[in-house]
Amino acid sequence: MAIKNRKGIFYTYFDPFKTGQIGLKLDVKTKSEAKQIEGMILRACRTGNYSGLDGAGREACIRMFGSKGWECPPELGGALRRPTEELTLWKAWSLFLKYPEIRTSKARERHEAAIIHLVQHFGREQLIKSIWVPDLKVYQSERLDEGAAPATVNWEMATLSRLFGVLIEMQAVDVNPVRLVKRLSVKASERQAYLSMGDVPLIAGKCPDWFQPMIWAAYYSGMRRGEILELTWSQVNMRDRMITLKPTDTKEGHWKRIPIRRELGAILEEVGRVRILGVDHVFLLNGKPVDKETFKNCWPRACEKLEKAELLKEPWPRFHDLRHTWKTNARRSGMDPEIREAILGHSERGKSVIERYGRISDQELLNAIDSMTFDHGETEIFVASGKKPPLKNSEHFLNNEGGKRKSGCRHATPTS
């Protein structure tokens, strides 16, 4: 038995008939009251005598029988209740999306993408209660066979786990089977990438004009794709050369200040020459903010063009590799690690008490970004071995059009 307080609402998790744990919401204000009602309901269920329940206990007990579709005892005023309609995966998903915490979640779109694969595998009419551990292990295996990365499968399983968690809070199911399944190891899909200062413009040159400023925003700032897409002029202070993101704007949920390097400042000034009345977003396409679906196709299409021109071989670089490249350039430039992580947005991870009391000034951030250099070697992409064998020691990754400078990309399999 256990009493849980979830945002001021008390729930009991107990097994009144020794058939499996049940979650039941209790209409009480204190934990002691919840324990008292839990004990009363448990005794009534075990003895079959419900006449001694008080008002709150009766109400909770009636809800329990009703939600389970069980026959309601005469002492609780009832005749036989019809079993409730079985919950399918598709109906459960609809309830999930309407749940307050999910409706406003930043991860909503990622959850929606994950459910597509879950529904394709299990089917819309799959009963939620029938999904159990062996089914989930089969799902993991089949998704890997389809070529999905372990991290992707883990996210899809996390989405399903979150769905079960919501259903438990709604008293629609009793257990979350996903918690009984181990996460897949992501070590087999580890990836390290660095793009040289000469190769980035080659990729950018194959992208649409409206897309190129976002490439340089990532290259010179280390910002994430989502932060770039959602960047607004109200977050940009061109005079002080500082971008300020609120906790609601970042993945970490913390304030973040990103110094604007002068090259990036010139790009932002150029972009800002075309402003649309009533639209505060920095990066636009046809007068509207760039949507994620349009964004995500540009980079791979550019890589495809370069591959056809025999300037690029798999594995292709990814847009997110620009963030990895920024971090590598910052480290190789000798940037203070604490300042580097603060700009990236990782400054809260593993901070000591001493570090938490230290404040990094705007001037320190600007000095760091101004002293940063970006020409620190050739393009390198290291990928762990997978279903497609990685290329080893390819002669050239990207060549400039004149052929004077060659950038070798080593595709290697890390040794254990």
Q: Is the peptide bond before 390 cis (omega within 30 degrees of 0)?
A: no
**Per-residue pLDDT at 415:** 34
Provide the 8-state DSSP code for 274: S
Show the tokens assigned to 142: 């089949």
The pairing of strands 191-194 and 380-383 is antiparallel
Least confident of 173-187, 264-278, 383-397: 383-397
User: How would you classify the pairing of strands 380-383 and 410-412?
Assistant: parallel
Average pLDDT of every residue of the chain: 84
Whether 191 shows a pLDDT value over 90: the answer reads no
pLDDT digits (tens, 9 = 90+) for 53-64: 887 888 888 888
Query: Start-end ranges of CATH 1.10.150 in the chain?
Result: 89-189
Gap between the Cα atoms of 103 and 406, Å rounded: 49
Segment 113-166, tens digit of pLDDT: 999 999 999 999 999 999 999 999 999 999 999 988 898 999 999 999 999 999
What per-residue confidence (pLDDT) applies to 38?
86
- Please, which residues have CB within 8 angstroms of residue 261's CB and are 6 or more apart in sequence? 220, 221, 369, 370, 372
Q: pTM here?
A: 0.64
Total Cβ atoms within 10 A of residue 307: 13
Specify the CATH architecture of the domain 89-189.
Answer: Orthogonal Bundle (1.10)
Q: For 344-383, what is each residue's pLDDT tens digit?
A: 986 555 555 545 566 899 999 999 999 999 999 999 988 7
At 120 the pLDDT is: 94
Alpha helices (runs of H) in 349-403, residue ranges in sequence order: 353-356, 362-371
Q: Over range 35-49, report the average pLDDT.
A: 84
Residues in the chain: 416
Amino acid making up residue 55 = G
CA distance 63 to 60: 5
pLDDT recorded at residue 223: 96
The C-alpha R_g of the chain, in whole angstroms, comes to 28
- Range scoring the smallest mean pLDDT among 206-210, 294-298, 385-389: 385-389
Give ranges for CATH 1.10.443.10 in the chain: 191-412
Report the percentage of the chain scoring pLDDT > 90.
Answer: 51
What is the strand order of the sheet 410-412 is part of? 191-194, 380-383, 410-412
* Sequence-separated (6 or more) residues with CB below 8 Å from residue 311: 202, 396, 397, 398, 399
pLDDT for res 202: 95
pLDDT at 72: 75
What is the per-residue pLDDT for 313?
85
pLDDT of residue 78: 52
Q: What angle do CA 204, 228, 294 make, to 5 degrees?
A: 65
Higher pLDDT pick, 356 / 182:
182
Q: In which band, very low, low, confident or very high, does the pLDDT at 21 lie, cut at 50, 70 and 90?
A: confident
- Take residue 400 and report the two structure tokens written for it: 């400039």
* Max Cα–Cα distance, the chain, nearest Å: 92
Identity of residue 374: F
Cα 263 to Cα 1, 217, 219, distances in angstroms: 62, 9, 10
Whether residue 56 contacts residue 66, with contact meaning beta carbons closer than 8 Å, is answered with no
Which whole-number Å values give the CA distances from 336 to 323, 330, 360, in the listed order?
17, 9, 11
Range in 30-44, 146-160, 206-220, 303-317 the model is least confident about: 30-44
Q: What is the mean pLDDT of residues 7-16?
A: 83
Q: Hey, what CATH topology would domain 191-412 get?
A: hpI Integrase; Chain A (1.10.443)
76: nearest Cα among 39, 41, 27, 26: 41
